[in-house]
Chains A and B, each alone.
Chain A
Amino acid sequence: MAPTKTIKNKHAANRSGVKNSKAAEKSRNDGVIKSKGKPKGKAHTLVTANKGRPNIQELIARKLKKKTYSEKDLAIPELNTVTPVGVTKPKGKKKGKVFVDDKESMATILAIVQAEKEGQIESKMIKARQMEEIREARRAEAEKKEAERKARLEETKESLRKKRKRSGKSHGGNDDDDSRDVKELASAGTKAVKSKKKKSVSFAAE
């Protein structure tokens, strides 16, 4: 075990003044062995201390700083991300509501809305007019059909009347009777029902 030597006066140790003298060498290796790394570190800290504090903080910050990964770097499928696709808000856009208070922007919105509405109303009117035309045409067609049907009925009536006249003349029947029959037929239409005699009730006098 090497004997340890305490030095009372640090500055007096190398009093010889000669750099490579034996005394100087002795004093340098005077039994106390120090690790080579430590003094260096000590010296370094001293130097840094001299430079100022921000550097230490910088070092600490550098140590603490870890690489952060954005979701883009990770290449995760869109549906697996924390925020759903539709919810993400565009970056760089102003937060909050955008108010419309100036005259110009209000006028532009108004012009757009009015043009839209006018167009809608116009198309509605055109549509209504077209529908009305179609309805009118259908009504005219129905009226025409009705008139045709009536004409056909009249024709058949007329033919029946003529037939009866002819047959009446040949049989020598009464003309008045025939005309009455035709009238009855016309009033009853095609579904002619036998004319019944009106029933009468008589009460016996007491």
Chain B
Amino acid sequence: MRPLTETEQKTVFEKLANYCTDLKSLIAPLDDGDRYVFRLNHSRVYYVRLSVANLATSVSRDALLSLGTCLGKMTKTGKFRLHITALPILSEHARHKIWVKDNGAQPFLYGSNVVKAHVGRWSEDCPEHSGVVVYSMADIPLGFGVTARSTTEARRLDPTGIVCFRQSDCGEYLRDEDTLFAG
């Protein structure tokens, strides 16, 4: 387990900035004097309290399975992939949101993109190809994706047209159970 290097930190922040507005609150000091830090173990990036990270140094690298919140994985080419486990953090500071109707929640959770017919609400002024967090109508975060059309363009789209490309959904907890936390 080690802290991130400068370039790694930058790529992680860049990815998070696609979905979140207020990144400063992520690293802001907490009331008890603690703060959150980023740690890398087995090419996975964890968002964890500093006190917990310090405690975790007593566990050997191989024995340490996970700590804090797993944000995603650093690829071998130096890119960063967000995992579904980062959803609580993304949904807290989401920049753009899509609410899907109940009839659209299941198809989304099974891994398909969001079509216009399933969209209940959509945050205004959302440009094309920007990160968006998908919620159910009861405001429960289901996953996240990338917009296929801007809000104005999507209004003219036919009901079967795709408005959001899925990146990750809660169904991955079951579908990718074997590879999500290790391997």
Contacts and interface: CB of A to CB of B under 8 A. Distances in A.
A107 B36 CA distance: 12
Contacts of B9: 100, 106, 109
Interface in A102-117: 103, 105-107, 109-110, 112-114, 116-117
Contacts of B24: 107, 110, 114
Given A99-B3, A114-B17, A128-B150, A121 B10 contact: no
A109 B9 CA distance: 8
A100 to B, nearest CB: 5
Interface size class of A (residues with CB under 8 A): 20 to 34
Nearest to B96: A121
Nearest to B125: A125
B5 A97 contact: yes
A73 interface: no
B27 A107 contact: yes
Interface string A114-155: 101100010011001000100000000000000000000000
Contacts, number: 59
Contact of A110 (B3, B23, B125): B23
A58 interface: no
A112 to B, nearest CB: 8
A100 B128 contact: no
A113 B4 contact: no
Contact of B37 (A97, A101, A114): A101
Q: Which of A103, A107, A109, A112 has its CB near the most chain B CB atoms (within 10 A)?
A: A109
B177 interface: no
A175 to B, nearest CB: 48
B131 to A, nearest CB: 10
A105 B10 CA distance: 11
Contacts of A128: 127-128, 150, 152
A98 interface: yes
B127 A125 contact: yes
A109 B10 contact: yes
B92 interface: no
Contact of B152 (A101, A109, A113, A132): A132
Contacts of B5: 97-100
A124 to B, nearest CB: 4
Contacts of A107: 24, 27
Nearest to B151: A128
B27 A103 contact: yes
B178 to A, nearest CB: 30
Interface string A83-108: 00000000000000111110101110
Interface of A: 97-101, 103, 105-107, 109-110, 112-114, 116-117, 121, 124-125, 128, 132
Given A97-B5, A100-B9, 9 more contacts: A97-B2, A98-B6, A99-B3, A99-B4, A101-B37, A103-B27, A106-B27, A125-B127, A132-B150
28 contacts: A97-B2, A99-B5, A100-B4, A100-B6, A100-B9, A101-B37, A103-B29, A103-B35, A105-B6, A106-B9, A107-B24, A107-B27, A109-B9, A110-B13, A110-B24, A110-B26, A113-B14, A113-B17, A114-B17, A117-B18, A121-B127, A124-B127, A125-B125, A128-B128, A128-B150, A128-B152, A132-B150, A132-B152
Q: Top 3 closest A-B pairs, CB basis?
A: A117-B17, A101-B3, A99-B3
